[in-house]
Chains A and B, each alone.
Chain A
Amino acid sequence: MPSSSIVAVLAVYGVVLLAIGLWASRESRSVAGYFVAGKKLPSWVIAFSSNATGESAWLLLGLTGMGYLVGIHALWIVLGEVLGVALAWVFVGLRFKEYTDRYDSITVPDYLEARFHDTRHVIRLVSVVIVLSMVTAYTAAQLTASGKAFGSFLGTSYQVGVLLGAVFILFYTTVGGFKAVAYNDLLHGVLMFTGLLALPIVGIAAAGGWPSLMSRLHEIDPNLLRPMGELGLSAAGVASALGFVGIGLAFLGAPQLLTRFISARRPSEIVDGSVIAVVCIVVFDVGAVFAGMAGRALFQGLADPETILPTMSADLFPAVFTGIFLVIVLAAIMSTVDSLLILASSAVVRDVVQKVFHPKLSERQFSLLGRLTTAVIGIGAVALALPEVRVIFWFVLFAWSGIAAAFAPVVLCSLFWSGTTRAGAIAGMVAGFLTTVLWVLLVKERFYDLYEMLPGFFVGFAVTIGVSMFTKPPDGALEEMASVRARAAGSSRINTGASS
Protein backbone atom coordinates (compact mmCIF):
# COMPACT_ATOMS: atom_id res chain seq x y z
CA MET A 1 0.00 0.00 0.00
CA PRO A 2 1.35 3.44 -0.80
CA SER A 3 2.26 5.38 2.28
CA SER A 4 0.53 8.72 2.78
CA SER A 5 3.86 10.59 2.61
CA ILE A 6 4.57 9.21 -0.90
CA VAL A 7 1.11 10.21 -2.06
CA ALA A 8 1.57 13.67 -0.51
CA VAL A 9 4.86 14.20 -2.36
CA LEU A 10 3.18 13.10 -5.61
CA ALA A 11 0.25 15.45 -5.04
CA VAL A 12 2.51 18.48 -4.40
CA TYR A 13 4.53 17.65 -7.51
CA GLY A 14 1.37 17.32 -9.62
CA VAL A 15 0.04 20.68 -8.44
CA VAL A 16 3.36 22.40 -9.25
CA LEU A 17 3.39 20.93 -12.79
CA LEU A 18 -0.16 22.00 -13.48
CA ALA A 19 0.48 25.49 -12.04
CA ILE A 20 3.50 25.95 -14.33
CA GLY A 21 1.32 24.85 -17.26
CA LEU A 22 -1.30 27.46 -16.48
CA TRP A 23 1.32 30.17 -15.82
CA ALA A 24 2.95 29.50 -19.21
CA SER A 25 -0.32 29.42 -21.14
CA ARG A 26 -0.20 33.18 -21.89
CA GLU A 27 2.91 32.73 -24.00
CA SER A 28 1.42 29.84 -25.99
CA ARG A 29 -1.20 31.75 -27.98
CA SER A 30 0.98 32.23 -31.06
CA VAL A 31 2.79 29.59 -33.11
CA ALA A 32 6.28 30.78 -32.07
CA GLY A 33 5.01 31.15 -28.51
CA TYR A 34 3.62 27.61 -28.42
CA PHE A 35 6.59 25.90 -30.08
CA VAL A 36 9.68 27.87 -28.90
CA ALA A 37 8.38 30.03 -26.02
CA GLY A 38 8.78 33.16 -28.15
CA LYS A 39 12.61 32.67 -28.16
CA LYS A 40 12.87 34.20 -24.70
CA LEU A 41 14.40 31.48 -22.51
CA PRO A 42 17.43 32.10 -20.23
CA SER A 43 20.59 29.97 -20.05
CA TRP A 44 19.75 27.82 -17.02
CA VAL A 45 16.34 26.91 -18.44
CA ILE A 46 17.68 25.82 -21.84
CA ALA A 47 20.61 23.94 -20.27
CA PHE A 48 18.63 21.91 -17.74
CA SER A 49 15.74 21.46 -20.16
CA SER A 50 18.05 20.16 -22.88
CA ASN A 51 19.65 17.56 -20.60
CA ALA A 52 16.38 16.54 -18.96
CA THR A 53 14.91 16.03 -22.45
CA GLY A 54 17.92 14.08 -23.72
CA GLU A 55 17.95 11.88 -20.64
CA SER A 56 14.76 9.93 -20.14
CA ALA A 57 13.72 7.16 -17.75
CA TRP A 58 16.57 5.34 -19.44
CA LEU A 59 19.06 7.39 -17.36
CA LEU A 60 17.47 6.59 -14.01
CA LEU A 61 16.40 3.00 -14.61
CA GLY A 62 18.53 1.94 -17.61
CA LEU A 63 21.92 3.51 -16.84
CA THR A 64 21.79 2.67 -13.11
CA GLY A 65 20.91 -0.86 -14.25
CA MET A 66 23.91 -0.80 -16.59
CA GLY A 67 26.19 0.30 -13.72
CA TYR A 68 24.75 -2.60 -11.73
CA LEU A 69 25.29 -5.07 -14.56
CA VAL A 70 28.68 -4.10 -16.07
CA GLY A 71 30.22 -1.71 -13.51
CA ILE A 72 33.02 0.58 -14.71
CA HIS A 73 32.48 -0.47 -18.36
CA ALA A 74 29.34 1.75 -18.30
CA LEU A 75 31.66 4.79 -18.06
CA TRP A 76 32.03 4.53 -21.85
CA ILE A 77 28.44 5.83 -21.99
CA VAL A 78 29.48 8.75 -19.78
CA LEU A 79 32.39 9.51 -22.11
CA GLY A 80 30.10 9.65 -25.16
CA GLU A 81 27.40 11.73 -23.50
CA VAL A 82 29.67 14.29 -21.82
CA LEU A 83 31.64 14.77 -25.03
CA GLY A 84 28.43 14.90 -27.10
CA VAL A 85 26.90 17.60 -24.89
CA ALA A 86 30.15 19.63 -24.76
CA LEU A 87 30.65 19.52 -28.54
CA ALA A 88 27.01 20.45 -29.15
CA TRP A 89 27.10 23.53 -26.90
CA VAL A 90 30.58 24.66 -27.99
CA PHE A 91 30.41 24.08 -31.75
CA VAL A 92 26.77 23.67 -32.76
CA GLY A 93 24.76 26.00 -30.50
CA LEU A 94 25.89 29.48 -31.57
CA ARG A 95 25.98 28.73 -35.29
CA PHE A 96 22.60 27.06 -35.21
CA LYS A 97 21.13 29.96 -33.22
CA GLU A 98 22.57 32.51 -35.67
CA TYR A 99 21.18 30.66 -38.71
CA THR A 100 17.74 30.10 -37.18
CA ASP A 101 17.44 33.73 -36.08
CA ARG A 102 18.32 34.87 -39.61
CA TYR A 103 15.70 32.61 -41.13
CA ASP A 104 13.18 33.23 -38.35
CA SER A 105 12.96 29.44 -38.01
CA ILE A 106 11.19 27.78 -35.10
CA THR A 107 11.72 24.13 -36.03
CA VAL A 108 14.65 22.13 -37.40
CA PRO A 109 12.84 21.39 -40.72
CA ASP A 110 12.10 25.16 -40.92
CA TYR A 111 15.83 25.75 -40.72
CA LEU A 112 16.78 23.01 -43.18
CA GLU A 113 14.22 24.22 -45.73
CA ALA A 114 15.51 27.80 -45.56
CA ARG A 115 19.16 26.72 -45.55
CA PHE A 116 18.74 24.62 -48.71
CA HIS A 117 16.09 26.79 -50.47
CA ASP A 118 13.78 23.77 -50.55
CA THR A 119 10.72 25.39 -52.16
CA ARG A 120 9.12 21.99 -52.84
CA HIS A 121 8.98 21.18 -49.10
CA VAL A 122 10.54 17.73 -49.57
CA ILE A 123 12.72 18.14 -46.45
CA ARG A 124 9.67 19.04 -44.35
CA LEU A 125 7.72 16.01 -45.55
CA VAL A 126 10.63 13.59 -45.00
CA SER A 127 11.18 15.11 -41.53
CA VAL A 128 7.57 14.75 -40.49
CA VAL A 129 7.47 11.05 -41.42
CA ILE A 130 10.67 10.33 -39.46
CA VAL A 131 9.66 12.45 -36.47
CA LEU A 132 6.14 11.04 -36.17
CA SER A 133 7.18 7.39 -36.48
CA MET A 134 9.98 7.67 -33.94
CA VAL A 135 8.24 10.03 -31.50
CA THR A 136 5.11 7.90 -31.12
CA ALA A 137 7.16 4.80 -30.33
CA TYR A 138 9.57 6.72 -28.06
CA THR A 139 6.66 8.29 -26.17
CA ALA A 140 4.93 4.94 -25.80
CA ALA A 141 8.16 3.49 -24.39
CA GLN A 142 8.37 6.29 -21.82
CA LEU A 143 4.72 5.83 -20.81
CA THR A 144 5.46 2.14 -20.35
CA ALA A 145 8.26 3.20 -18.00
CA SER A 146 5.71 5.38 -16.17
CA GLY A 147 3.45 2.35 -15.71
CA LYS A 148 6.38 0.29 -14.40
CA ALA A 149 7.59 3.08 -12.10
CA PHE A 150 4.20 3.55 -10.43
CA GLY A 151 3.92 -0.23 -10.16
CA SER A 152 7.34 -0.77 -8.53
CA PHE A 153 7.13 2.25 -6.19
CA LEU A 154 3.44 2.27 -5.24
CA GLY A 155 2.08 -1.11 -6.25
CA THR A 156 -0.56 0.40 -8.53
CA SER A 157 -1.58 -1.45 -11.67
CA TYR A 158 0.46 -0.90 -14.81
CA GLN A 159 -2.45 0.69 -16.69
CA VAL A 160 -3.12 3.21 -13.89
CA GLY A 161 0.57 4.21 -13.96
CA VAL A 162 0.51 4.80 -17.73
CA LEU A 163 -2.68 6.87 -17.50
CA LEU A 164 -1.53 8.96 -14.51
CA GLY A 165 1.72 9.87 -16.26
CA ALA A 166 -0.08 10.68 -19.51
CA VAL A 167 -2.77 12.87 -17.91
CA PHE A 168 -0.25 15.19 -16.23
CA ILE A 169 1.99 15.48 -19.29
CA LEU A 170 -0.88 16.06 -21.72
CA PHE A 171 -2.42 18.73 -19.52
CA TYR A 172 0.59 20.98 -19.12
CA THR A 173 1.92 20.36 -22.64
CA THR A 174 -1.36 21.23 -24.35
CA VAL A 175 -2.15 24.18 -22.08
CA GLY A 176 1.29 25.70 -21.60
CA GLY A 177 3.17 24.76 -24.79
CA PHE A 178 6.95 24.90 -25.02
CA LYS A 179 7.32 27.44 -22.22
CA ALA A 180 5.58 25.10 -19.76
CA VAL A 181 7.63 22.21 -21.13
CA ALA A 182 10.93 24.10 -20.73
CA TYR A 183 10.23 25.35 -17.19
CA ASN A 184 8.84 21.98 -16.09
CA ASP A 185 11.95 20.43 -17.62
CA LEU A 186 14.05 22.79 -15.48
CA LEU A 187 12.23 21.51 -12.40
CA HIS A 188 12.65 17.94 -13.62
CA GLY A 189 16.35 18.53 -14.37
CA VAL A 190 17.01 19.95 -10.89
CA LEU A 191 15.20 16.98 -9.30
CA MET A 192 17.22 14.50 -11.39
CA PHE A 193 20.45 16.36 -10.54
CA THR A 194 19.73 16.24 -6.80
CA GLY A 195 18.69 12.59 -6.88
CA LEU A 196 21.71 11.44 -8.86
CA LEU A 197 24.02 13.38 -6.54
CA ALA A 198 22.46 11.91 -3.39
CA LEU A 199 21.90 8.31 -4.48
CA PRO A 200 25.55 7.29 -5.12
CA ILE A 201 26.76 9.10 -1.99
CA VAL A 202 24.21 7.33 0.22
CA GLY A 203 24.77 4.06 -1.67
CA ILE A 204 28.57 4.16 -1.26
CA ALA A 205 28.20 5.07 2.43
CA ALA A 206 25.75 2.20 2.93
CA ALA A 207 28.26 -0.16 1.31
CA GLY A 208 30.77 0.82 4.02
CA GLY A 209 32.64 3.55 2.12
CA TRP A 210 34.66 3.55 -1.09
CA PRO A 211 37.39 0.99 -0.16
CA SER A 212 34.78 -1.43 1.12
CA LEU A 213 32.63 -0.97 -2.02
CA MET A 214 35.63 -1.67 -4.26
CA SER A 215 36.62 -4.81 -2.41
CA ARG A 216 33.03 -6.11 -2.38
CA LEU A 217 32.66 -5.52 -6.11
CA HIS A 218 36.03 -7.22 -6.68
CA GLU A 219 34.79 -10.23 -4.72
CA ILE A 220 31.53 -10.38 -6.72
CA ASP A 221 33.26 -10.10 -10.10
CA PRO A 222 36.65 -8.43 -10.82
CA ASN A 223 35.37 -7.49 -14.30
CA LEU A 224 33.03 -4.93 -12.69
CA LEU A 225 36.10 -2.79 -12.02
CA ARG A 226 37.71 -3.14 -15.46
CA PRO A 227 37.18 -0.62 -18.32
CA MET A 228 36.53 -3.33 -20.90
CA GLY A 229 34.40 -5.46 -18.58
CA GLU A 230 34.03 -9.20 -19.04
CA LEU A 231 34.51 -9.01 -22.82
CA GLY A 232 38.05 -7.60 -22.46
CA LEU A 233 39.94 -6.26 -25.47
CA SER A 234 38.07 -8.51 -27.91
CA ALA A 235 36.15 -7.35 -31.01
CA ALA A 236 32.91 -7.71 -29.06
CA GLY A 237 34.37 -5.68 -26.16
CA VAL A 238 35.47 -2.87 -28.48
CA ALA A 239 32.08 -2.92 -30.26
CA SER A 240 30.34 -2.67 -26.90
CA ALA A 241 32.51 0.29 -25.79
CA LEU A 242 32.05 2.07 -29.14
CA GLY A 243 28.30 1.49 -29.02
CA PHE A 244 28.19 2.99 -25.54
CA VAL A 245 30.15 6.05 -26.72
CA GLY A 246 27.82 6.32 -29.73
CA ILE A 247 24.79 6.96 -27.50
CA GLY A 248 26.14 10.47 -26.89
CA LEU A 249 26.34 11.34 -30.60
CA ALA A 250 22.63 12.21 -30.61
CA PHE A 251 23.30 15.30 -28.50
CA LEU A 252 24.96 16.81 -31.58
CA GLY A 253 21.80 17.05 -33.63
CA ALA A 254 18.59 15.52 -32.29
CA PRO A 255 15.84 18.04 -33.15
CA GLN A 256 14.21 17.97 -29.70
CA LEU A 257 17.55 19.22 -28.31
CA LEU A 258 18.36 21.69 -31.10
CA THR A 259 15.03 23.39 -30.38
CA ARG A 260 16.54 24.53 -27.06
CA PHE A 261 19.16 26.57 -28.91
CA ILE A 262 16.44 28.17 -31.07
CA SER A 263 14.46 29.15 -27.97
CA ALA A 264 17.39 30.93 -26.27
CA ARG A 265 16.73 34.61 -25.47
CA ARG A 266 20.03 35.58 -27.13
CA PRO A 267 23.22 33.79 -28.21
CA SER A 268 25.08 34.67 -25.00
CA GLU A 269 22.61 32.45 -23.11
CA ILE A 270 24.14 29.52 -25.01
CA VAL A 271 27.64 30.49 -23.83
CA ASP A 272 26.47 30.65 -20.19
CA GLY A 273 24.30 27.55 -20.60
CA SER A 274 27.19 25.46 -21.92
CA VAL A 275 28.89 25.22 -18.53
CA ILE A 276 25.63 24.39 -16.74
CA ALA A 277 24.78 21.73 -19.34
CA VAL A 278 28.13 19.92 -19.13
CA VAL A 279 28.36 19.97 -15.32
CA CYS A 280 24.77 18.74 -15.19
CA ILE A 281 25.38 15.82 -17.58
CA VAL A 282 28.53 14.80 -15.65
CA VAL A 283 26.51 14.58 -12.41
CA PHE A 284 23.62 12.78 -14.16
CA ASP A 285 25.77 10.12 -15.77
CA VAL A 286 28.56 9.53 -13.24
CA GLY A 287 25.92 9.54 -10.49
CA ALA A 288 23.81 6.94 -12.27
CA VAL A 289 26.76 4.60 -12.95
CA PHE A 290 28.17 4.77 -9.42
CA ALA A 291 24.70 4.41 -7.89
CA GLY A 292 24.26 1.22 -9.91
CA MET A 293 27.68 -0.06 -8.79
CA ALA A 294 26.88 0.63 -5.13
CA GLY A 295 23.55 -1.10 -5.68
CA ARG A 296 25.34 -4.20 -7.00
CA ALA A 297 27.35 -4.46 -3.78
CA LEU A 298 24.26 -3.93 -1.63
CA PHE A 299 21.54 -5.87 -3.45
CA GLN A 300 22.97 -8.84 -5.30
CA GLY A 301 20.87 -11.11 -7.45
CA LEU A 302 18.16 -8.72 -8.64
CA ALA A 303 16.11 -10.41 -11.36
CA ASP A 304 15.84 -7.12 -13.27
CA PRO A 305 18.87 -4.79 -12.86
CA GLU A 306 16.67 -1.89 -14.00
CA THR A 307 14.84 -2.02 -10.68
CA ILE A 308 17.98 -1.12 -8.73
CA LEU A 309 16.97 2.55 -8.27
CA PRO A 310 13.52 1.81 -6.81
CA THR A 311 15.12 -0.90 -4.65
CA MET A 312 17.80 1.45 -3.30
CA SER A 313 15.38 4.32 -2.71
CA ALA A 314 13.00 2.05 -0.78
CA ASP A 315 15.69 0.39 1.33
CA LEU A 316 18.17 3.19 1.98
CA PHE A 317 15.84 6.18 2.43
CA PRO A 318 12.80 7.04 4.59
CA ALA A 319 9.35 6.81 2.94
CA VAL A 320 9.14 10.48 2.04
CA PHE A 321 12.36 10.17 0.02
CA THR A 322 10.96 7.10 -1.73
CA GLY A 323 8.16 9.43 -2.89
CA ILE A 324 10.75 11.94 -4.04
CA PHE A 325 12.61 9.26 -6.01
CA LEU A 326 9.37 8.21 -7.67
CA VAL A 327 8.88 11.86 -8.59
CA ILE A 328 12.45 11.94 -9.97
CA VAL A 329 11.79 8.93 -12.21
CA LEU A 330 8.53 10.51 -13.34
CA ALA A 331 10.42 13.77 -13.94
CA ALA A 332 12.83 11.99 -16.28
CA ILE A 333 9.93 10.41 -18.14
CA MET A 334 7.86 13.57 -18.37
CA SER A 335 10.74 15.82 -19.40
CA THR A 336 11.36 13.60 -22.41
CA VAL A 337 7.75 12.93 -23.37
CA ASP A 338 6.60 16.57 -23.18
CA SER A 339 9.41 17.66 -25.51
CA LEU A 340 8.72 14.83 -27.94
CA LEU A 341 5.04 15.75 -28.05
CA ILE A 342 5.88 19.37 -28.80
CA LEU A 343 8.33 18.23 -31.48
CA ALA A 344 5.74 15.99 -33.15
CA SER A 345 3.09 18.67 -32.89
CA SER A 346 5.41 21.25 -34.48
CA ALA A 347 6.22 18.78 -37.26
CA VAL A 348 2.54 18.47 -38.14
CA VAL A 349 1.25 22.01 -37.53
CA ARG A 350 4.22 24.22 -38.37
CA ASP A 351 6.07 22.08 -40.90
CA VAL A 352 3.17 20.64 -42.84
CA VAL A 353 -0.12 22.46 -42.24
CA GLN A 354 1.17 26.03 -41.93
CA LYS A 355 4.11 25.94 -44.34
CA VAL A 356 2.95 23.48 -47.02
CA PHE A 357 -0.81 24.01 -47.24
CA HIS A 358 -0.96 27.68 -46.09
CA PRO A 359 -4.53 27.62 -44.73
CA LYS A 360 -5.98 31.01 -43.80
CA LEU A 361 -5.88 30.61 -40.03
CA SER A 362 -4.94 33.13 -37.35
CA GLU A 363 -1.89 32.58 -35.09
CA ARG A 364 -4.30 31.66 -32.31
CA GLN A 365 -6.03 29.05 -34.47
CA PHE A 366 -2.65 27.54 -35.46
CA SER A 367 -1.70 27.41 -31.80
CA LEU A 368 -5.02 25.68 -31.02
CA LEU A 369 -4.31 23.18 -33.79
CA GLY A 370 -0.90 22.60 -32.16
CA ARG A 371 -2.58 21.75 -28.84
CA LEU A 372 -5.04 19.43 -30.56
CA THR A 373 -2.24 17.62 -32.41
CA THR A 374 -0.25 17.27 -29.16
CA ALA A 375 -3.30 15.68 -27.52
CA VAL A 376 -3.96 13.31 -30.44
CA ILE A 377 -0.34 12.08 -30.62
CA GLY A 378 -0.26 11.70 -26.83
CA ILE A 379 -3.45 9.65 -26.83
CA GLY A 380 -2.06 7.51 -29.67
CA ALA A 381 1.05 6.80 -27.56
CA VAL A 382 -1.14 5.90 -24.57
CA ALA A 383 -3.07 3.46 -26.75
CA LEU A 384 0.24 1.86 -27.81
CA ALA A 385 1.59 1.69 -24.25
CA LEU A 386 -1.54 0.37 -22.50
CA PRO A 387 -1.98 -3.17 -23.86
CA GLU A 388 1.18 -4.84 -22.58
CA VAL A 389 4.24 -4.45 -20.39
CA ARG A 390 7.41 -4.88 -22.40
CA VAL A 391 11.07 -4.49 -21.62
CA ILE A 392 11.65 -1.69 -24.01
CA PHE A 393 14.68 0.31 -23.01
CA TRP A 394 16.35 -1.06 -26.12
CA PHE A 395 13.50 0.60 -28.02
CA VAL A 396 14.21 3.96 -26.35
CA LEU A 397 17.80 3.70 -27.58
CA PHE A 398 16.57 2.70 -31.05
CA ALA A 399 14.19 5.68 -31.36
CA TRP A 400 16.90 7.99 -29.96
CA SER A 401 19.20 6.66 -32.68
CA GLY A 402 16.61 6.83 -35.48
CA ILE A 403 15.88 10.53 -34.90
CA ALA A 404 19.53 11.45 -34.38
CA ALA A 405 20.93 9.51 -37.36
CA ALA A 406 18.35 11.18 -39.63
CA PHE A 407 18.97 14.75 -38.49
CA ALA A 408 22.41 15.11 -36.88
CA PRO A 409 24.69 14.35 -39.87
CA VAL A 410 22.65 16.66 -42.12
CA VAL A 411 22.46 19.46 -39.56
CA LEU A 412 26.20 19.22 -38.86
CA CYS A 413 27.04 19.30 -42.58
CA SER A 414 24.67 22.25 -43.09
CA LEU A 415 26.40 24.20 -40.31
CA PHE A 416 30.01 23.46 -41.18
CA TRP A 417 30.22 22.75 -44.93
CA SER A 418 28.86 25.29 -47.36
CA GLY A 419 29.03 22.68 -50.14
CA THR A 420 26.10 20.74 -48.64
CA THR A 421 23.21 20.62 -51.08
CA ARG A 422 19.45 20.11 -50.89
CA ALA A 423 19.71 16.72 -52.59
CA GLY A 424 22.53 15.72 -50.23
CA ALA A 425 20.45 16.71 -47.21
CA ILE A 426 17.38 14.76 -48.31
CA ALA A 427 19.39 11.67 -49.26
CA GLY A 428 21.40 11.89 -46.02
CA MET A 429 18.28 12.07 -43.85
CA VAL A 430 16.64 9.10 -45.53
CA ALA A 431 19.88 7.07 -45.56
CA GLY A 432 20.70 7.74 -41.88
CA PHE A 433 17.19 6.79 -40.80
CA LEU A 434 16.91 3.67 -42.98
CA THR A 435 20.37 2.46 -41.96
CA THR A 436 19.33 2.59 -38.30
CA VAL A 437 16.19 0.57 -38.97
CA LEU A 438 17.85 -1.95 -41.31
CA TRP A 439 20.86 -2.39 -39.01
CA VAL A 440 18.58 -3.43 -36.15
CA LEU A 441 16.48 -5.72 -38.33
CA LEU A 442 19.17 -7.40 -40.43
CA VAL A 443 22.75 -6.86 -39.26
CA LYS A 444 23.07 -6.06 -35.57
CA GLU A 445 22.97 -9.62 -34.21
CA ARG A 446 25.65 -10.74 -36.64
CA PHE A 447 27.97 -7.80 -35.95
CA TYR A 448 28.79 -7.99 -32.21
CA ASP A 449 25.49 -6.23 -31.36
CA LEU A 450 27.04 -2.91 -32.43
CA TYR A 451 24.67 -0.06 -31.52
CA GLU A 452 22.74 1.26 -34.55
CA MET A 453 23.67 4.90 -33.91
CA LEU A 454 27.20 4.36 -35.27
CA PRO A 455 26.32 2.90 -38.71
CA GLY A 456 23.36 5.33 -38.92
CA PHE A 457 25.65 8.32 -38.36
CA PHE A 458 28.36 7.00 -40.66
CA VAL A 459 26.01 6.32 -43.57
CA GLY A 460 24.13 9.60 -42.94
CA PHE A 461 27.38 11.57 -43.23
CA ALA A 462 28.70 9.55 -46.18
CA VAL A 463 25.51 9.93 -48.22
CA THR A 464 25.05 13.64 -47.37
CA ILE A 465 28.64 14.40 -48.41
CA GLY A 466 28.67 11.99 -51.39
CA VAL A 467 25.45 13.30 -52.96
CA SER A 468 26.39 16.92 -52.23
CA MET A 469 29.66 16.52 -54.12
CA PHE A 470 27.73 15.77 -57.31
CA THR A 471 25.02 18.43 -56.92
CA LYS A 472 25.00 22.22 -56.70
CA PRO A 473 24.87 23.98 -53.33
CA PRO A 474 22.36 26.84 -52.81
CA ASP A 475 23.34 30.26 -54.18
CA GLY A 476 25.20 32.39 -51.67
CA ALA A 477 25.74 29.51 -49.19
CA LEU A 478 29.49 30.16 -48.90
CA GLU A 479 29.13 33.90 -48.12
CA GLU A 480 26.26 33.24 -45.76
CA MET A 481 28.23 30.63 -43.82
CA ALA A 482 31.24 32.96 -43.54
CA SER A 483 28.99 35.67 -42.12
CA VAL A 484 27.29 33.25 -39.70
CA ARG A 485 30.67 31.91 -38.56
CA ALA A 486 31.99 35.42 -37.91
CA ARG A 487 28.93 36.42 -35.90
CA ALA A 488 28.82 33.17 -33.92
CA ALA A 489 32.53 33.26 -33.12
CA GLY A 490 32.93 36.87 -32.23
CA SER A 491 29.87 38.62 -30.94
CA SER A 492 27.83 36.45 -28.64
CA ARG A 493 27.04 39.36 -26.29
CA ILE A 494 26.65 42.09 -28.89
CA ASN A 495 24.30 40.12 -31.10
CA THR A 496 20.98 40.16 -29.30
CA GLY A 497 19.53 37.70 -31.76
CA ALA A 498 16.06 38.92 -30.87
CA SER A 499 13.49 37.92 -33.42
CA SER A 500 10.37 37.70 -31.36
Chain B
Amino acid sequence: MIAGLPFSSWLLLMAAVGPGLTLVTVFYLRHRRREGP
Protein backbone atom coordinates (compact mmCIF):
# COMPACT_ATOMS: atom_id res chain seq x y z
CA MET B 1 0.00 0.00 0.00
CA ILE B 2 1.22 3.49 -0.86
CA ALA B 3 -1.02 6.34 0.30
CA GLY B 4 -3.87 3.90 0.78
CA LEU B 5 -3.72 2.46 -2.74
CA PRO B 6 -2.19 -0.97 -3.51
CA PHE B 7 1.21 -0.93 -5.24
CA SER B 8 -0.25 -2.80 -8.23
CA SER B 9 -2.79 0.00 -8.74
CA TRP B 10 -0.02 2.61 -8.75
CA LEU B 11 1.75 0.47 -11.34
CA LEU B 12 -1.40 0.45 -13.50
CA LEU B 13 -1.70 4.24 -13.19
CA MET B 14 1.94 4.67 -14.25
CA ALA B 15 1.48 2.20 -17.12
CA ALA B 16 -1.66 4.05 -18.22
CA VAL B 17 -0.04 7.46 -18.62
CA GLY B 18 3.75 6.86 -18.69
CA PRO B 19 4.41 5.17 -22.06
CA GLY B 20 2.13 7.56 -23.96
CA LEU B 21 3.68 10.67 -22.46
CA THR B 22 7.22 9.34 -22.98
CA LEU B 23 6.56 8.36 -26.58
CA VAL B 24 5.17 11.73 -27.53
CA THR B 25 7.92 13.66 -25.71
CA VAL B 26 10.65 11.73 -27.54
CA PHE B 27 8.84 12.29 -30.86
CA TYR B 28 8.49 16.02 -30.21
CA LEU B 29 12.10 16.55 -29.10
CA ARG B 30 13.52 14.50 -31.97
CA HIS B 31 11.70 16.61 -34.55
CA ARG B 32 12.57 19.86 -32.80
CA ARG B 33 16.27 18.92 -32.68
CA ARG B 34 16.29 17.97 -36.35
CA GLU B 35 14.87 21.31 -37.33
CA GLY B 36 17.70 23.14 -35.56
CA PRO B 37 17.57 26.65 -34.11
**Which residues of A come within 8 Å of B, CB atoms?**
72, 75-76, 78-79, 82-83, 85-87, 89-90, 210-211, 213-215, 218, 225-227, 268, 271-272, 274-275, 277-279, 281-282, 285-286, 490, 492-494
Nearest B residue to A94, CB-CB: B31
- For residues 1 through 37 of chain B, which have their beta carbon under 8 Å from a beta carbon of chain A? 3-6, 8-9, 11-13, 15-17, 19-21, 23-25, 27-28, 31-32, 34-35
Q: B21 contacts A225, CB within 8 Å?
A: no
A–B pairs, 12, beta carbons within 8 Å: A72-B12, A75-B12, A83-B19, A86-B19, A210-B3, A226-B8, A227-B12, A268-B31, A277-B24, A286-B13, A492-B35, A493-B31
Contacts of A225 in B (CB 8 A): 4-6, 9
Q: B8 contacts A282, CB within 8 Å?
A: no
Q: A275 contacts B25, CB within 8 Å?
A: yes
Bound-state CA distance A443–B29 (Å) is 45
Say how far A73's CB is from chain B's closest CB, in angstroms.
9
Contacts of B20 in A (CB 8 A): 82-83, 85-86, 278, 281-282
Bound-state CA distance A85–B16 (Å) is 12
Bound-state CA distance A141–B19 (Å) is 32
Contacts of A78 in B (CB 8 A): 16-17
Say how far B8's CB is from chain A's closest CB, in angstroms.
5
Nearest A residue to B15, CB-CB: A79
**Which residues of B come within 8 Å of A, CB atoms?**
3-6, 8-9, 11-13, 15-17, 19-21, 23-25, 27-28, 31-32, 34-35
Bound-state CA distance A274–B23 (Å) is 10
Contacts of B9 in A (CB 8 A): 72, 75, 225-227
Nearest A residue to B17, CB-CB: A282
Q: B4 contacts A75, CB within 8 Å?
A: no
Given A72-B9, A227-B8, are A82 and B3 neighbors across the interface (CB < 8 Å)? no
Given A72-B12, A75-B16, A78-B16, are A226 and B24 neighbors across the interface (CB < 8 Å)? no
Q: A82 contacts B16, CB within 8 Å?
A: yes
Nearest A residue to B32, CB-CB: A271
Closest 7 pairs between A and B when the two form their complex, measured CB to CB: A214-B4, A86-B20, A82-B20, A79-B16, A78-B16, A90-B27, A493-B35
Nearest B residue to A277, CB-CB: B24
Interface of A is mostly: helix
Nearest A residue to B4, CB-CB: A214
Contact of A90 among B11, B12, B24, B32 (CB under 8 A): B24
Q: B19 contacts A278, CB within 8 Å?
A: no
Say how far B2's CB is from chain A's closest CB, in angstroms.
10
Say how far B30's CB is from chain A's closest CB, in angstroms.
9
Contacts of A274 in B (CB 8 A): 24, 27-28
Contact of B27 among A72, A79, A214, A271 (CB under 8 A): A271
Given A211-B3, A214-B5, are A86 and B23 neighbors across the interface (CB < 8 Å)? yes
Residue among A213, A274, A281, A286 with the highest chain B CB neighbour number at 10 A: A274
Q: B4 contacts A275, CB within 8 Å?
A: no
Q: B24 contacts A76, CB within 8 Å?
A: no
Contact of A211 among B4, B24, B31, B35 (CB under 8 A): B4
- Beyond the given pairs A72-B12, A83-B20, A493-B31, 20 more chain A to chain B contacts, judged by CB atoms under 8 angstroms and listed by A's residue number, are A75-B13, A82-B21, A85-B20, A211-B4, A213-B4, A215-B4, A218-B4, A226-B8, A227-B8, A268-B31, A271-B27, A274-B28, A278-B24, A279-B21, A281-B20, A282-B21, A285-B16, A492-B31, A492-B35, A493-B35
Contacts of B21 in A (CB 8 A): 82, 86, 278-279, 282
Residue among B8, B12, B25, B35 with the highest chain A CB neighbour number at 10 A: B12
Q: B17 contacts A271, CB within 8 Å?
A: no
Bound-state CA distance A398–B6 (Å) is 33
Bound-state CA distance A388–B15 (Å) is 41
Contact of B3 among A75, A214, A268, A285 (CB under 8 A): A214
Q: B16 contacts A226, CB within 8 Å?
A: no
Contacts of A83 in B (CB 8 A): 19-20
Given A85-B20, A226-B6, A492-B35, are A76 and B12 neighbors across the interface (CB < 8 Å)? yes
Bound-state CA distance A188–B3 (Å) is 34
Bound-state CA distance A79–B15 (Å) is 7
Bound-state CA distance A492–B4 (Å) is 46
Bound-state CA distance A493–B37 (Å) is 12
Nearest B residue to A228, CB-CB: B8
Bound-state CA distance A72–B23 (Å) is 24
Q: B17 contacts A82, CB within 8 Å?
A: yes
Q: B34 contacts A490, CB within 8 Å?
A: yes
Contacts of A275 in B (CB 8 A): 24-25, 28
Contacts of B12 in A (CB 8 A): 72, 75-76, 79, 227
Contacts of A210 in B (CB 8 A): 3-4
